[in-house]
Structures are given as structure tokens and as C-alpha cells.
Amino acid sequence: MPDIVPYEKPPPTPPHQEQQQQMDTPFEGPEKKLSLHFIPKCNREEARSLRSLSRECIDHILSAAACSILSFSRNEHIDAYVLSESSLFIKDRSFTIKTCGTTTLLNALPTILHYANTLYLTPLSLSFSRVAYRFPDAQPFPHDCFENEVRSIDDALQSTRCGFDKRVHCWNDWYMYDARFDESGERNEETEGGTDCADTTLEMFMFDVDETQMSHYDFTAREHLVGSDESHKVTKESGIKHFLYDCDVIDAFNFAPCGYSMNALSKQTYMTMHITPEVEASYVSFEISGEVHNVAVVVAKVTRLFKPGRMTVVLVGGIALQHEQMGMVPKMFEREYVHDVSAGEWCTGGAKICVSSFSRERGAAYGIGKRFGAIEVGEGVGSFEVGEIAGADEGCESLMIVDLKAVERGFEEVQERFGKGVDIRYEVRTNRAEGIVALLDCMGSRFEAEGEEDLEALERAGVEKERIVLAGAVGERGLVERVECVAVFEDGALLQTAVECGACVEIRVVDGVVSGIWGLLKRIVAAGGRVRGVGFEGGVEMELQRKVVQMVLDSGCRLCEEFVVVVVGKGAAGRGAEEVEREVGQWGGYGGGRVKGGVVVGAEMVRKAVWMRVQVVGRKARWDGGMAYYVSDGVYGGATCAIMGGERVGAVCGGCGGGGGGGRGRGDAVKRSVVYGPTCDALDVVWSGEMEIVQVGEWLVLEGVGVQSGGACEFNGFGGSRAVRYVVCG
């Protein structure tokens, strides 16, 4: 094997970023991207990995492109470099580099090919792509126009004396040069054509980005954040961390005076993001290459965070399902964006390319999911055909839609009162129609799985683990609003899976039955889980309550930051929040205000729990100073009440009927009642029958089944009654 030595004939040093600054133009954010895949020459044993290239060789390649290394990270499969202008990723048989500004990326191509040859590697495929430059006049040769870029690549490849076929793609503002070489070497599993999920690349190019989001990446007055040491703070505070839930390596860099770059690795998949926050030329690029589980979900998440004025989305490779998901994207954005163009074509290697461009309608407010069919924001209640959503069951009829703006101000009031103890979130139980699951996931919904079948359905739909809440046989919804993932278990059968999904555990004691709790606590400890709270329902004596709480403390379980105790049923019948608070307060915050795990457990947590969710049995609802609580005498077992909103909450009935109405009798007992406080004149809703709540952008979707005894659900203020016959939650 010959020694690896620098290329003997380096190209002349091109102009660097100073050239663009001298031309008095903002920084050129859009990147040029060059990706090459190699296979060993005929003698596989002599071939070496591209990752064996020395730092000197890599620096030499980058100097030709007019950029340099700022930081380095790696995992078992990928070496990743954050560059002064974007990123470099090296695998055993692939080399991908993208550079922004006025770099001269294609000048590095001959050098890359030279070093690959010394490793006994021969090229299998090459692609060069970019979006249109904002400031093309600032670009040096050969990047001053796409025609010159094509000629430059042709010249470099012809010097290899390898035969190749090429295609040139020009769609709207996106350009691609795609070449496939004669297979004179040996193929391997990694370099097989782009036909499976592992070969998928999704890229998003976003312009005119939301100024509030861009402020996270301006370090003019925060010079202490510049560099890589403090970059993790920006990654978290900006919301980017939410995309990186499955990444074991995250490497980011904050630029002076502004700008941000990030590489993240997960097995053989990489993600990279580059941000130019200058107001007059704001730009964000996002790329994920490798396993992309749900294209529509990824696009929706990124768009929801950055709210661009216009964007281009490109999918290269992938399986048929992913291109179907890509086809959902225009439908998701139809309210906020004009879908300018969508095109599909095949690369030389057989991988499909799909390109879609979007631009914001003038004056359109941002928010995915504001419209389904003909329903407009502010119209209150309407319906749409489920069949309009890809993947919906043909036999389904309709859903009810309520404008979420109607309760938003009520949430703000509650959050102001209780701080971060209350989170504006809703949950939905599993829907086995994967198209609808994917859509709800795009819109930020959370999912509750009651068993392995539900869990598998959600995983097939590409829902992230952190968005799944597991519930056991006892815990239909739980006593506490799940600000974190909270799971309720009777027998602990799904405990290990729940802990792996990031769930906390809430323990429920019903009618004084405590057998098996100690064993459950031991399983929680063994699984490394955390306990969020204890709920007591029915006739649980005070002494038994104290014993159960003490069992939790003595078990060695870790507690969540907010550990909540709720007393309901006969223990709270006829009394309000103050009495429950006093009752729990007699415990002295569990042992005289003792601090465990840095958290004082006591009456204050109960106050929050009473607002967030109190489950009891019965008929009587009261409203007191912004805190909702729901107590009864235990006649109508099984009702759950979540009250959200302002001061004018209508009465909650124990059976069917409208606000202010009474129950119709034992046969019409409510299984789950939800009252939305009337923070606008049109919203004073009482729901009878079984239902779920789903957040879809700025819409609230109320889903349920036909009301018991043939009654109709009454929506006071909406001028009519309508029963919903389709249950998204399966």
C-alpha cells in the first residue's frame, strides 16, 4: 500500500469570504454540495477506508475549497466535521462535503479523486447540487453559473479515464449534476443503489426565516456563546434539540457575530443544519441522510420551527412510501403556502428525486393545520370528510373541528398563575390508519398506547418514542396532565418499555387495594424509572395514604421534579381544592417538608394537580378563582373532567345534555366530560359520551362516538347539535 501524500499539483488558492465582504453583500447562505460514493478496485483486500485519510490530506482537500475545520466528531460509521463554511461527512466508502459563502467547492474534486485512488477506491457515483444563489455575482469561477459548474465537473471526471453517464437536472431554483460510473470495481452492501430507506436524503432550503427564531443565532451582544463550548445551549433553547432525539453525537458551533452550524450522528445517519440569520438574507438549510422514518413529519417539524417565507424541499432516493409521504406535504401547507412547483425524476443510479417549492401567501398567518377542506379559522365548528386525509378508513364519516384560539387565552391565564407547571398539550390514543397517525404526528400531537399492538402501530407510522405515552389497564388517562410522559400501570407488564420511551410512572390506588404496590415499586427501581405521583381513589383512609406514600419514599425510586399526590372519590367528596390541600398538608410535605431529590413534595403540588386534572366520580362541578375542580358523591362512577379556560365556565352535567343541564339518570352517566372555558363568546362546550382531544396546529379536534341513549352532543353557542360517529383513536 503506498503512503498517503498530499496531491502534487494543488489548485491555485481561490478568493475567500473577504471577497464577498468587499462586495458589500450579505453572507451567501445557500450551500454547494458534492457527494461521492466509491467501491474498491478489483483487489478488495488492498482497498482502504476513506476514514483512514490523514488530517493533512483532509486539510489539503479543504484548502482547495477555501474552507477549514472548526470541530470534529465521529461514531462507529461516520466522521463528521463542522467547517468554517458548512460541513464534511466521511464514511468508509462515501465523501460528502457542503460549503456556503464564496467557497470554491469544485476545485477540491480532483484532489478528492486523487486521494481515493491512492486508497484503491474507484468512484461509483457522484452528485453535485445546490439551490439558486442569492448573490450570484459574488461567486468566483467556476461557481459563477451552473454551466461553468457542469464543465468543471466534466473536466475533473474525464481526467479519471473512467467511463460515466450523467444527467443534469434544473428545477425551478434547484440544480443537480448526477453521474454514474462504469462498475470496474467490486460492489458492496453500503454502495448498492439508492433503493432502500438507508439511502434516503431529505434536504430543506429555507429563506426569509422567522425573525424571532433567527434572534437565537445573533451573538453580537452574547460573545461568550461564540464557539463550540456553549453551542449546546443554543441547540436546546432554539428548539433544534427536538429534531435530534435519536442522535448519540451532536456537534455544533456558534459563529461571530452571527450564524450557527450543527452536525448530528445516529448510527449510519447524519443530520446537519446551517443558519445564516442576517435579516436581509436569512437562510436555514436542513439535511438528513440515512434512515428517514417519516418524511412528512420531518418537514412539518422543521417548517413549524423556522416559519420560512419560502422554501424548497428535496427528497433523493427512498422507498415508495416515503415519496407518498412527500406527496402529503403540499396538502399540509395549503393554508400558509402557495405550492409553486413539484417535480419528480430518476437519477442515473435508479434513485427517485422529488422537488417541491413553496412560498408564503401575502398576509397569511403561520400555523400548520388551520384548514381542513373548507373550514376557515374563526368559524367555530365544522366538519370535513375523513377521506380527504391520506390513509383514512373508507368507512369513516366525519370529525368535529373547533378553533383552538378559543381556549388559548385561557391557557395563558393558567400558565401565568402556575408558571411552567402547566403545558399546552393534548394527547391522542393510537390510530391504526397510518396516514392519519402521520398527519397528527406532523401537527405535534402526542400519542397514548395501551399495549404492544398500539405501540407497534405508532412505530410503523414513524412516531418518535418521546411522543408516545404508555398506559396500562388501570390508567385510561391518568390523574395528572402529562407535562412529561406519565404512564399508569396496574401490573407493570409494560414498565420496561415505558421507561425506555422516557415515561414516568404514576401509581393509582383504588378503593384501598394496595396489594402488589411494593412489587411494582421494585420493578420501577430495577428498570431505572421515575415516579411522577400517587393517586388515591375511593375510600382510602388517611393512614393508608400515608403508608403508601412512605412506601414510595422508602423504595428508592427516583422522583420526578414535580411529584404529585391526588386524593379523589370519597376522600374528596363534597369538598373543594382547599380541603384536599389541607388534608395532604397534614402530612407536612411528607415528613415535615422533607426534601427528596431536590423537590419539596406537598400541598403546592396538589394545587397544581387539582387544576391540571382531577378525576373523581360524580356530578358536581365548581369554579373557584381560576382553579377548576370536580367533586361528587360517587353515584355515577368513572367520569373524568378536564376544565380549561376563563371565568364563565358552564355547569357540567352528569349525563347527556347541554351546559347548565342536569344528568338524565344513571344510564346516561358520562364516561369522559371535557369543558372548555368560554374565552371567546362562541365556545362553551359540554361533551357527553366518550371522546379524545387532539391538537392539530391551531385546531382542536374533538373526536368521539355516538352519544348514549341516542342523545346528541350540544354545542352551546354554535346553534345546533351534531354527533360525531368516527373515532380517530381507534
Model confidence pLDDT, tens digit, residues 609-634: 222 222 222 222 222 222 222 222 22
Whether residue 83 contacts residue 67, with contact meaning beta carbons closer than 8 Å, is answered with: yes
pLDDT of residue 563: 63
Whether residue 128 contacts residue 32, with contact meaning beta carbons closer than 8 Å, is answered with: yes
pLDDT-derived band at 552 (thresholds 50, 70, 90) equals confident
Active site residue 500: no
Active site residue 261: yes
Report which of residues 47 and 416 the model is more confident about. Answer: 47
pLDDT-derived band at 603 (thresholds 50, 70, 90) equals very low
CA-to-CA dists, residue 296 to 300, 303, 440, 464, 576, angstroms: 6, 11, 11, 13, 46
pLDDT-derived band at 392 (thresholds 50, 70, 90) equals very low
pLDDT of residue 654: 24
Q: What is the mean pLDDT of residues 359-384?
A: 34
From the list 16, 31, 149, 692, the catalytic residue is 31
* The pLDDT of residue 108 is above 50: yes
Separation CA 631–CA 577 (nearest Å) = 9
Separation CA 562–CA 559 (nearest Å) = 8
From the list 16, 28, 506, 581, the catalytic residue is 28
Active site residue 653: no
* The pLDDT of residue 383 is above 80: no
Q: What is the DSSP string of 581-595?
A: HHHHHTTIIIIIS-E
* The pLDDT of residue 252 is above 90: yes
Separation CA 351–CA 13 (nearest Å) = 36
Domains of the chain in sequence order = 1-190 (3.60.90.10), 193-368 (3.60.90.10), 373-422+613-730 (no CATH), 478-610 (no CATH)
In the block, cell 403546592 appears at: 604
Highest mean pLDDT among 383-387, 565-569, 694-698: 565-569
pLDDT of residue 346: 74
Q: What is the dihedral of CA 659, 663, 668, 673, to 10 degrees?
A: 40
Report which of residues 238 and 430 the model is more confident about. Answer: 238
Which stretch of 18-22, 94-98, 179-183, 527-531 has the lowest confidence by average pLDDT? 18-22
Model confidence pLDDT, tens digit, residues 647-703: 222 222 222 222 222 222 222 222 222 322 222 112 222 222 333 333 323 223 333
C-alpha triplet 215, 412, 576: angle, nearest 5°: 150
Separation CA 449–CA 40 (nearest Å) = 47
* The pLDDT of residue 157 is above 60: yes
* The pLDDT of residue 47 is above 80: yes
Which residues are within 8 A (CB) of 58 and not within 5 positions of it... i.e. 6 or more apart?
A: 69, 81, 88, 90
Query: What's the length of the chain?
Result: 730
Question: Phi-psi category of 590—alpha, beta or left, where left has phi over 0 and alpha has psi -120 to 50?
Answer: left
pLDDT of residue 101: 92
Report which of residues 466 and 261 the model is more confident about. Answer: 261
* The pLDDT of residue 532 is above 50: yes
pLDDT of residue 548: 77
Active site residue 100: yes
Active site residue 49: no
C-alpha cell at 250: 451532536
Report which of residues 412 and 71 the model is more confident about. Answer: 71
Closest CA to 328 of 295, 285, 360: 295
Separation CA 143–CA 66 (nearest Å) = 13
From the list 86, 94, 152, 356, the catalytic residue is 86
Model confidence pLDDT, tens digit, residues 494-514: 455 445 545 566 676 766 666
Active site residue 274: yes
Separation CA 61–CA 123 (nearest Å) = 17
* The pLDDT of residue 595 is above 90: no
From the list 63, 87, 231, 261, the catalytic residue is 261
Q: What is the DSSP string of 285-352?
A: EEEEEE--S-HHHHHHHHHHHH--SEEEEEEES--HHHHHHHHHHHHHTTTTEEEEEEEEEE-TTS-E
Mean pLDDT of the chain: 62
Q: Please provide the distance, in angstroms rounded to a whole number, between the alpha carbons at the two ends of the chain.
A: 62
pLDDT of residue 502: 53
Q: What is the mean pLDDT of residues 374-400?
A: 29
From the list 57, 100, 560, 680, the catalytic residue is 100
Based on the number of CB atoms within 10 Å of its own CB, is 45 exposed (0-12), middle (13-18) or buried (19 or more)? exposed
Q: What is the mean pLDDT of residues 374-399?
A: 29
In the block, cell 490530506 appears at: 57
In the block, cell 488530517 appears at: 55
* The pLDDT of residue 37 is above 50: yes
pLDDT-derived band at 245 (thresholds 50, 70, 90) equals low
Report which of residues 541 and 395 the model is more confident about. Answer: 541
pTM score, whole prediction: 0.53
Based on the number of CB atoms within 10 Å of its own CB, is 455 exposed (0-12), middle (13-18) or buried (19 or more)? buried
Which stretch of 182-196, 235-249, 269-283, 452-466 has the lowest confidence by average pLDDT? 182-196
Q: What is the mean pLDDT of residues 503-528?
A: 68
Report which of residues 464 and 578 the model is more confident about. Answer: 464
Which stretch of 158-172, 447-461, 513-527 has the lowest confidence by average pLDDT? 447-461
Q: Map 229-275 to HEC letters.
A: CCHHHHHHHCCHHHHHCCCCEEEEEECCCECEEEEEEECCEEEEEEE
Q: Are strands 640-644 and 673-676 parallel, antiparallel or unpaired?
A: parallel
From the list 63, 274, 445, 464, the catalytic residue is 274
